[in-house]
């Protein structure tokens, strides 16, 4: 028995190509309509979601699709829905800047996109504003994620005028009208300084010129909060930017100067190795805390007390927000922070001085 059509008009002439069934020929939406007993246009509306279809008819069409192992051609589907099914990730790339640190973000973004039947286009050219205009202006994507955000990011101005949802992972100074999300570097700094509050002096072994010169937004955010927390606790905070070619030398200088409390945000493995080469053990001879993922913090003989930046959580929450914007239309702009928390391990000596929780 034929199911009554739920949309007006006959099925469209342009059948959407799918995969080949058992006969070896290409299965089309016309075949799905025949097996389901509905019009070809009903099949199209079930796939695109453009018009309401009853649950019973939708189930019949989906059963027919499963029976024929039919999958709509991606190009035709994009044309019909005016969607590309692509999320663009715009980020600079330089082999000298340690791109491996971005891979956790990219992996989670890709997984989240694929879960929503989207692919990811990574835009790595150093085009700045022009690159952002290009991917959005040529309708190459449905939405944009902007990474490696600087404090004075020129992409912020153009993002406010884009017609596709755009989300920044990071906070430019002028975030008005933007959707921004990032790890709470400020609270992370306060927590790490709090773990060393019993020390009179803390050496912060932090990002060097490779990072600072790029103006990345999280560096001044972290520094300002760390300095404020240290001042409130009566702790002297020495800010030591680590230079790629001098890390071990700089660590030795700090240790020779009596450094007994280290806060590390950069070159963690090399710092720990230099401490061990000096015959010192974190948690026994000195205190060491780090801004590091759990995997990195637990990869040493002495597991490190650390605050993780949780790149995967940031990416998952970013993509959830982005798809909300994409599916529900423009939502209120604003800044969201992924909370920081400290995991205490063995790299800080017991102290009678209460530490900030």
- Domain ranges within the chain, ordered by starting residue: 17-81, 86-184+312-338, 186-309
Q: What is the mean pLDDT of the chain?
A: 85
State the alpha helices, DSSP H only, in the chain: 29-36, 40-48, 55-68, 74-81, 103-115, 129-137, 155-159, 185-195, 209-212, 218-233, 247-256, 268-277, 294-297, 311-328
By mean pLDDT, which of 4-8, 149-153, 247-251 is the weakest? 4-8
How far is the C-alpha of 16 from the C-alpha of 47, rounded, in Å? 11
Q: How confident is the model at residue 139 (pLDDT cuts 50, 70, 90)?
A: confident
The model's confidence at residue 48, banded by pLDDT at 50, 70 and 90, is low
- The model's pTM is 0.76
Beta strands 201-206 and 261-264 are parallel
More confident residue, 178 or 17: 178
Alpha-carbon distance of 59 to 3, in angstroms, equals 12
- Point out the least confidently predicted range of 60-64, 109-113, 269-273: 60-64
- Sign of the C-alpha dihedral, residues 212, 215, 221, 227? positive
86-184+312-338 with 186-309: one CATH topology?
yes
Confidence at residue 70, expressed as pLDDT on a 0 to 100 scale: 55
The Cβ of residue 196 has, within 10 Å, a number of other Cβ atoms equal to 29
- The CATH class, in words, for 186-309 is alpha beta
Answer for the pair 205, 288: CB distance below 8 angstroms, yes or no: no
**Looking at the domain 86-184+312-338, which fold is it?**
Rossmann fold (3.40.50)
Q: Domain 17-81, CATH 1.10.260.40 — does that match?
A: yes
Mean per-residue pLDDT for 120-149? 82
The model's pLDDT over 185-225, given as tens digits with 9 standing for 90+, comes to: 999 999 999 999 999 999 999 999 989 998 999 999 999 99
């Amino acid at each position: 028995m034929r199911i009554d059509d739920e949309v007006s008009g006959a099925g469209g002439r342009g059948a959407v190509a799918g995969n080949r069934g058992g006969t070896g020929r290409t299965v089309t939406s016309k075949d799905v309509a025949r097996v389901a007993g509905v019009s070809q246009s009903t099949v199209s509306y079930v796939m695109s979601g453009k018009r309401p279809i009853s649950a019973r008819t939708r189930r019949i069409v989906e059963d027919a699709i499963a029976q024929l192992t039919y999958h709509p051609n991606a190009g035709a589907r994009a044309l019909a829905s005016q969607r590309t099914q692509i999320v663009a990730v715009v980020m600079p790339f330089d082999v000298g800047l340690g791109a491996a640190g971005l891979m956790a973000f990219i992996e989670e973004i890709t997984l989240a996109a694929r879960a929503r039947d989207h692919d990811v286009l990574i835009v790595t050219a150093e085009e700045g504003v022009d690159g952002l205009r290009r991917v959005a202006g040529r309708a190459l994507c449905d939405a944009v994620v902007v990474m490696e955000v600087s404090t004075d990011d020129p992409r912020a101005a153009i993002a406010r005028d884009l017609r596709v949802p755009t989300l920044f992972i990071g906070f430019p100074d002028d975030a008005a009208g933007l959707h921004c999300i990032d790890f709470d570097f400020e609270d992370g700094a306060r927590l790490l300084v709090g773990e060393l509050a019993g020390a009179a002096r803390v050496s912060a072994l932090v990002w060097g010129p490779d990072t600072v010169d790029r103006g990345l937004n999280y560096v001044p955010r972290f520094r300002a909060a760390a300095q404020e927390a240290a001042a409130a606790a009566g702790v002297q905070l020495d800010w030591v930017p680590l230079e790629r070619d001098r890390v071990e030398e700089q660590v030795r200088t700090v240790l020779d100067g009596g450094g007994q409390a280290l806060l590390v945000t950069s070159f963690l493995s090399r710092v720990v190795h230099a401490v061990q080469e000096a015959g010192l053990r974190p948690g026994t001879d000195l205190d060491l805390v780090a801004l590091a993922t759990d995997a990195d913090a637990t990869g040493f003989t002495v597991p490190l007390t650390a605050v993780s930046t949780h790149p995967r959580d940031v990416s998952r929450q970013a993509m959830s927000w982005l798809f909300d914007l994409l599916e529900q239309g423009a939502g209120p702009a604003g800044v969201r922070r992924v909370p920081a928390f400290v995991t205490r391990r063995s790299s800080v000596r017991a102290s009678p001085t209460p530490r900030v929780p």
